[in-house]
Chain A
Amino acid sequence: MRNDMIYMDNNATTRTDPRVVEAMLPWFTEKYGNAHSRNHAFGWEAEEAVEAARASVARAIGADPREIIFTSGATESNNLAVKGVAEFFVDRGDHFITSAIEHKCVSDSMKSLERSGRKVTFLGVDREGRIDLAALETAITDKTVLVSIMAANNEIGTVQDLAAIGKICKARGVLFHTDAAQMVGKQPIDVEAMGIDLLSLSAHKIYGPKGVGALYIRRSKPRVRLVAQMDGGGQERGLRSGTLNVTGIVGLGRALDIAMEEMETERVRMRALRDRFLSRIRANLDHIHVNGSMEHRIEGNLNISFAYVEGESLLMSLKEVAVSSGSACTSATLEPSHVLRAIGVGEELAHTSIRFGIGRFNTESEIDRVVDMLTEKVNRLREMSPLYEMVKEGVDLQTVKWNPH
């Protein structure tokens, strides 16, 4: 990759921290044992490293190490949580609740449950992207098995009131799962204080390697059970077969240790960078809208609509900056983001939205360079935009009769 490129897409993935890479290296070439080999030192040292990482994961979310299983990432964790719980508790009920702004690995897992005859309620969200707690209460029935609500949204960064959701679920005796891939390591999360029964996390969102994650499964009050979704050697207490990715797991543990250690200072720094970005861009450009909540938000995320400038053309103009329009997972499609639609952003504005993911390795001077480039490119594209011209002429675009094709 060109080294003059600025990477500002840290909600998609992050650069692996060199300290994490350093911790991982010996586990490729020197300590390559299988953590399940019980009869030699190679296996023992691998197992020891895996258990140390398990303790790091547990510590980061206030859990017990025995409640953590390793997976290939948040997608697998989310599939296992939703489908595994549904399968185990088939006699308890057939109703599931989730939100309209989940990542596809949760919403499509829910749709898969629907295809097998279960009922799923997709809760709407308000303009900030938060679910309505009263609507959640109303949606729960005596057939409800699981509520799955993401901790922080990948597109707009909105953080849910997890403690309140957990409290409602506990009171009604339903399980609470949260996809915390965007939250863990960035803001405090505690499975006890928040009443979380299952939690998914991923290493590559927090400066760890890709291809490794974990699922927290509560052991008591209540004891959560689930059915494995993959057959094999019965590793991870039978819940996730397959030889453990020892190198990746070591990386996940180290990444979490660093994230937890630096969380408070990083939150302050991220917020300062974000505020600098926003105040400068607001000073330079009119007709811009921040999507989501400024109050309940992970610090590094900004999702901005640049009215009258189509997002893909803006991305094409920003050759030296890596950002994304909508969510990275859907950027190959032309459909506007389901998240922006759910928070009530009109389609015409959704098409003009860019997600900026500010991260650990971004600097103040990078923020300033991105603001300068954005200002220049948005102005150029607005000069080219018939919509901006009409607005300047005083035309109300809502009253125009368009010819959609």
Chain B
Amino acid sequence: MPYSDKVVDHFENPRNMGSFAKDDKDVGTGIVGAPECGDVMKLQLKIVGDRIVDAKFKTFGCGSAIASSSYVTELVKGKSLDEAQDIKNVQIVEELALPPVKIHCSVLAEDAIKAAIADYRKRQGAETGEPAQSAS
């Protein structure tokens, strides 16, 4: 199946691929998907105050899944947590020109952002003694 130029570019030159230390208290980690479904995304957000200052990903999945997560790391940087929380998968679909059969990759990337934020808030909550939110 032909891939869009942007998918190919992110796949060939992934942005922000790698990992932060998971136990860093400034880092929220979201892992979504499942190996038996053929895609697993790990998105990590480094957060200072209310802002995402850095992001990293690792993805097991097709080219579109890798491109979606790569693009998302660029998209979230500099955003507040509330702004990042509002990112919708259609933005990813439009930017990468994903075909219908690959929409689920963008949904997964959106879920990864929400999971990473939830993880961060849970860990912050645990640290400040507030009740922890459960990660979805």
Contacts and interface: CB of A to CB of B under 8 A. Distances in A.
Interface of A: 308-310, 312-313, 316, 332, 334, 336, 346-348, 351, 383-389, 397, 402-405
- Give the secondary structure class of B's interface: mixed
Contacts of B40: 386-387, 402
Nearest to B3: A316
Contacts of B66: 313, 384
Contacts of A405: 32-34, 37, 104, 107-108, 111
Interface string B94-105: 000000010010
Given A316-B3, A386-B42, A389-B19, A309 B34 contact: no
B19 to A, nearest CB: 7
Given A313-B11, A332-B1, A384-B66, A404 B34 contact: yes
A386 B38 contact: no
Nearest to A389: B58
Given A310-B61, A384-B58, A385-B58, A404 B36 contact: yes
A386 B20 CA distance: 12
Query: Which 8 pairs from chain A and chain B are nearest by CB?
Result: A348-B35, A402-B34, A347-B36, A386-B42, A351-B38, A312-B62, A386-B58, A404-B34
B41 interface: yes
Interface in B112-133: 115
20 contacts: A310-B38, A312-B63, A316-B62, A334-B101, A346-B36, A351-B37, A384-B60, A384-B66, A385-B60, A386-B31, A386-B58, A387-B60, A402-B33, A402-B36, A402-B40, A403-B31, A403-B34, A403-B111, A405-B32, A405-B37
Contacts of B111: 403, 405
B14 interface: yes
B107 A397 contact: no
Given A310-B39, A332-B1, A402-B34, 16 more contacts: A309-B60, A310-B65, A312-B62, A316-B62, A334-B38, A347-B35, A347-B36, A347-B38, A384-B17, A384-B59, A386-B31, A388-B60, A389-B58, A402-B36, A404-B33, A405-B34
Nearest to B17: A384
Nearest to B136: A403
A387 B39 CA distance: 10
B36 A348 contact: yes
A310 B38 CA distance: 6
Contacts of B58: 384-386, 389
Contacts of B41: 386
A387 B35 contact: yes
B36 A310 contact: no
Contacts of B39: 310
